[in-house]
Amino acid sequence: MLLFVFASCNDSNTSFPDKEPVEINSNPDIEIIPSDPLPNGAINFSHFNHLYNEINFNGKKVGIINIYSEYPNYTYAIEPKEGFTCVDDVSRTIVMLTKYLELYGDDVIALEKLKNLTEFVLQMQNQNEYFNNFIWNDFTINTTYQTSIAVLGWWSFRALWAIESAYPFLKSDGDMANRIATASEKLITNIKRDLPTSYLTTEIINTIELPTWLPGKSAADQSAILILGLLNNYIRTGDNDSKTLIDHLAKGIILMQKGDADNYPYGAFLSSENLWHAWGNNQAYALLKVGHEFNNQEYIDSALLEIENFYPWMLQNGFAEAFWIHKVDNNFIQVNKNQYPQIAYGVRPMLWAATEAYRYSNDDKYLDIANELGLWLSGKNDANKAMYNPSTGVCFDGITGLNEVNKNSGAESTLEMLLMLLEIEKTK
């Protein structure tokens, strides 16, 4: 059993474009449609309910999640180059609600929100069949900024994961089910066309051998999200081409794994090129899911190598946002490191992987790792402060330095925290 005691209180590259400090402007009031809140129980959804709104968009009622929420009153804010809500975070919300429904059973309020959020994502599919990411306050789609263009990348992959996750819960609605299936088929057709998987070749960049057939050539982090969407599609359709693509992506991810049980970086999956970053590092979790679905022990063993060795090393030596490595002779060495910010999005993927390993193995060592990771929320972290407040449902946006916390609480941190807590509840 996972036991936690809480104190009350977009693309992969070295510049982290979606993580840089931005100028946040006040978000003017938008006309919203009243909706019922998710009820609180073992998990406090109050702050989620604050961030969630329903609006009229392209003639349809849709669900959205406000991206930014600023301390101390947690008022909404807007990023001036991007917008106020996005496919990235709405997709996270969809996945969160499917986990909620799996845990608590059919819930009319959750199902209604799931349907309305899925409607938003479907409305964001571009004519080129990829997805734009952001909308502005006037509800027009941002089609020009780098983090919103409809391309092969993060938000298109998250959209696929989201709508395929929602499908089993919405399939009784024939129109919605058909639209999900059509949107998914169009997107996957693009992905199969645009990923260079005909020749599984490698190249050396910054002394590291890398695959060339993943998104962005070597983006293992994006590949993991894509695998999760394709896996749901395969389970729904039985499309062998989707399975083949999953296998190609999995082989590329395994090539991005460096070190071993005795040698640095102890089986960590690099995110892209010679970079590892904590946020979005879902590779082990994705390999476990497809390993068990396809009965592929290579995938499972690769995932367990990271979970058993890199995670304990990270817990013992302290969390980090990112590090870069080079290969010298036959060894890997760290050449640079970013300690901060440390965020829920950097912890949740590891906790999910550890609990998934426990679920399939019943080995308590994975449960112990998950327990240690979960304590990050309750104060076992560089800030020595609880990041989640169970009396308000607020999860702080991150740790910015030793004993320093960013007390804003936007969509990403809130949703990643809820994904952690739902996994904890599921494992009890």
Say yes or no to pLDDT of 20 above 80: no
The CB density around residue 211, as the number of other CB atoms within 10 Å, is: 24
Say yes or no to pLDDT of 10 above 90: no
- DSSP H/E element including 176: helix 174-194
134-178 per-position pLDDT tens digit: 999 999 999 999 999 999 999 999 999 999 999 999 999 999 999
For the chain, the maximum distance between any two Cα atoms, rounded to a whole number of angstroms, is 62
Region 191-201: mean pLDDT is 93
CA dihedral 216, 267, 289, 387 (to 10 degrees): -90
332-353 per-position pLDDT tens digit: 999 999 999 999 999 999 999 9
Q: State the average pLDDT for the chain.
A: 93
What single-letter amino acid sits at 205? I
Say yes or no to pLDDT of 19 above 90: no
End-to-end C-alpha distance for the chain, whole angstroms: 5
Q: Residue 280 — φ and ψ, nearest 5°?
A: 70, 20
Handedness of CA 133, 138, 143, 147 (dihedral sign): negative
Token output for 283: 């590779």
Buried b / exposed e over 249-285, threshold 16 CB at 10 Å, is bbbbbbbbbbbeeeebbbbbbbbbbbbbbbbbbbbbb
How far is it, in rounded angstroms, from Cα 167 to Cα 118?
Answer: 9
Three-state secondary-structure class, residue 377:
helix
For residue 320, the model assigns a pLDDT of 96
Buried b / exposed e over 361-392, threshold 16 CB at 10 Å, is eeeeebbebbbbbbbbbbbebbbebbbbbbee
Say yes or no to pLDDT of 26 above 90: no
For residue 21, the model assigns a pLDDT of 38
What single-letter amino acid sits at 114? L
For residue 255, the model assigns a pLDDT of 98
Please name the residue that has the structure tokens 């290969």. 327
Q: Is the peptide bond before 37 cis (omega within 30 degrees of 0)?
A: no
Q: Residue 172 forms beta bridges with which residues?
A: none
For residue 25, the model assigns a pLDDT of 60
How far is it, in rounded angstroms, from Cα 48 to Cα 210?
Answer: 39
Q: What is the pTM of this model?
A: 0.94
How far is it, in rounded angstroms, from Cα 120 to Cα 138?
Answer: 15
> Are the CB atoms for 368 and 427 separated by under 8 Å?
no
Token output for 328: 């010298």
For residue 2, the model assigns a pLDDT of 56
82-135 per-position pLDDT tens digit: 999 999 999 999 999 999 999 999 899 999 999 999 999 999 999 999 999 999
What single-letter amino acid sits at 334? Q
Q: Residue 223 — φ and ψ, nearest 5°?
A: -60, -35
Q: How many residues does the chain have?
A: 428
The CB density around residue 356, as the number of other CB atoms within 10 Å, is: 24
